[in-house]
Amino acid sequence: MAEPIAALAILVDVAIGWPPALYARIGHPVGGFARVIGWAEARWNTPAASSTHRRATGILTLALIVAIAIGVAWAATLLARHTLGSVAWIAIGLMAAPGLAIRSLYDHVVPVAHALAASDLETGRARVAMIVGRDVASLDEAGVARAAIESLAESVCDGVVAPLFWLLVAGLPGLWAYKAINTADSLIGHREERWRAFGWAAARTDDGANLISARLSGVLLCLAGLGGWRTMWRDAGNHASPNAGWPEAAMAGALGLRLAGPIAYDGVSVAKPYIGNGRADATAADLRAALGIYRRACVLLFVITGGIAWSL
């Protein structure tokens, strides 16, 4: 039954996403995870606490939000099955849809492509700053395009493939447990001194949760891009993350680009290795091509999921 639930979740997310009006009224479910993490971090991740204490309370924080996610999703699944019977899968699919980010990711990247196509570099920088953590003030057109392409490729895993994977593997509780882990990693799973101990569990758990999905994401992008296999196998390990390099290298190979490389965070330059050995001068056309690969990858994912559901 997980397959039709997943197919419906994809359709709902692509069709309406999480509407801005709804977000303005009630926020988004992951906002609840963020509030719990913020509450715990303010009380337990204090400078005076030892690294051991901060690591232990970071583990506790992660366990707390995962327990909340599983508990609420499990109760909602039971309630739907008890009250709706044979059509409960529709309600479960609707509850799964907000855990995907197919439309949201597309809607965040498209304005960057439009700005670059209009030669509006300042707007391009402002738009890409909404989806990346690096410094953008000094980025030229190629830098903005590369940043958007890299973010798009990496997010194929944690915004699309991984939540869908965990929905298929462990139902609604699996999807929302993954979203809790991924949210914790994005908020506290950093290497800076403030976060290193407290966010250790979140970062390591997120690495494990994405292990299979990242590689599936790379394969999906190579299929959708009709190439990139050699670059993916060769350069996936060039990324600091054990997972993000797979979809990014696949996208770099499919587009014939050189991604990653030296970037700056908060004014500090970081010497990162390159991924891919193609052109470094990415353009608005390359970003549009990347969005085309992304669309085809999402269609492939729906066809595969729907095909499995139809055959059962």
First to last CA, the chain: 9
Residues 6+ apart with CB under 8 A from 272: 238, 240, 260, 261, 262, 263
- How many angstroms separate the CA atoms of 276 and 259, rounded? 6
pLDDT tens sequence for the chain (312 residues): 677 899 999 999 999 988 888 888 888 999 999 999 999 999 999 988 999 999 999 999 999 999 999 999 999 999 999 999 999 999 999 999 999 999 999 999 999 999 999 999 999 999 999 988 777 888 899 999 999 999 999 999 999 999 999 999 999 999 999 999 999 999 999 888 888 999 999 999 999 999 999 999 999 999 999 999 999 999 999 998 899 999 999 999 999 999 987 776 665 566 788 999 999 899 999 999 999 999 999 999 988 887 765 665
Quickly list DSSP for 219-259. Answer: HHHHHHHT--HHHHHHHGGGSSSTTTHHHHHHHHHHHTB-E
Tokens at residue 58, please? 């970071």
pTM: 0.94
